[in-house]
Structure 1
Amino acid sequence: MVERFTLIDVALCQQEIKKSRFRAAAAPVADEAAAKAFIAAQSDPGANHNCWAWRIGAAYRFSDDGEPSGTAGKPILAALDGQGLDRVAVVVTRWFGGILLGSGGLVRAYGGTAAQCLREAAKVAVVETVAGTAECGFSDLALVQARLGALPGVEVAVESFTASGAILSLAAPAAQAEQLARALSDLTSGRSRLRWQDGTPDA
């Protein structure tokens, strides 16, 4: 699986190309609604064009915002994909300076400004997680809590109690899901079960 990255925070950069000013703004986004909100917030109604692209997993969108088709949104998306970025939105705003750049020039200007902004941004690896529930008896609860608490990337969100034990709602890195389910079963001699919501095999 190819490792993907997202941004830690908002990144900005700008450059002037043949008297036109290009400003790129990029940010991490959790979903399409967050991407749309960021694009709306960064777009300047006084500029000539606010072109953008975002990618969240397999989903993506882009816009040329009045520039010739294929000269702005696609190059911005290509800059995202070229740097292995996910869950990121980018807006490149242009203030026209009076000199036409031509199709090739626009592709280089929009794609290049986005790429420069993304190169300079602080990044962090995207860790795919899966949600699940672990059921255990009271006799095993302290042991299970200690084991889960010691594992990097495992987060117990909710603990609820039944007459015989506890149900722990948790999230864990997808790459460790099967191994974690097996470890929990071994730890409690099969008394504890870990079930994943996405169909990842249980132990």
Structure 2
Amino acid sequence: MPFSLHTPAHAELLIKKSRFIACVQPVQDRAQAQTIVDALWQQHPGAAHVCWALMAGGQSAAVDDGEPSGTAGRPMLDVLRHQQLEGVLATVVRYFGGVKLGAGGLVRAYTDAVAQALLTAEKIPRQQLVQLRLSLPYPLEGLLRREIAAADAQLLQVGHAALVTLQLSLPQAQAEAFKARIDELGHGRIAWLEPE
């Protein structure tokens, strides 16, 4: 089962005078990851490298940012894969201390920095979400909104016309039970539609 992280976690290592500042954090996609990396360059203008790895489905990435090829991004990505993380960005800001670490030393440094940050991270199971869309008469809207809140579902869209149309998302494992409960409460007055 894949996991994500609840909140960002940090670690800092000092190896042969080089400072490695690691952060692991939940992200939605590559665009959000790139924004975070750009912000790190703003926060650390004197850094030699800002290397990063992203596990986000088809948007995964491993960026060495000037370090020898395969010595930073790929080892960081391997740590995320090994820990079965998804939707997670790992970044390591490196301040060069004047002593070269060699390829093996760099791989160990970047791997250890991310692993240390993950030691303090709170992992949460990543659930597959499904979207549901339905229409109902106006008098049932309040009831349905209460059921959505009780199921910890997220209301995505509401439309008001002759009928109220709602689109929501919730964990796939809860979808069938939710639909059955709504059908029971709606007494045949709720219609399930294809999500937009």
Number of equivalenced pairs: 194
1:53-68 matches, within 5 Å, as: 53-68=53-68
RMSD: 2.4
Q: Residue type matched to 1:39 in 2?
A: V
Paired residue for 2:35, among 34, 37, 40? 37
Counterparts of 2:29 and 2:62, CA distance in 1:
15
User: What does 1:1-203 align with in structure 2 at a 5 Å threshold?
Assistant: 2-8=1-7, 10-43=8-41, 44-138=44-138, 140-141=140-141, 143-151=143-151, 153-163=152-162, 165-197=163-195
What is the letter of the counterpart of residue 55 of structure 2?
R
After TM superposition, the runs of 4+ consecutive aligned structure 1 residues lying more than 4 A away are: 138-143
TM-score where L is the length of structure 1 = 0.81
SS in 2 for 1:79: helix
Matched residue of 1:171: which SS?
A: strand
Aligned partner of 1:201 in structure 2 is: none
Sequence identity (%): 37
**SS at structure 1 position matched to 2:132:** strand
Deviation of 1:138 (Å): 4.4
How far the C-alpha of 1:67 sits from its partner, in A, is 1.6
Residues 135 and 168, structure 1, Cα contact 8 Å, conserved in 2: yes
CA contact (8 A) 1:184 1:194 kept: no
TM-score calculated relative to the size of structure 2: 0.83
Give CA-to-partner distance per residue, 1:56-96, whole Å, 9 cap, x none.
Answer: 23320111112221111011111222222222222212222
One-letter identity of the residue aligned with 2:171: P
SS class of match (1:15):
strand
Deviation at 1:179, TM superposition (A): 3.1
Structure with a larger share of its residues in helix: 2
Q: Which runs of 5+ in 2 are unaligned?
A: none
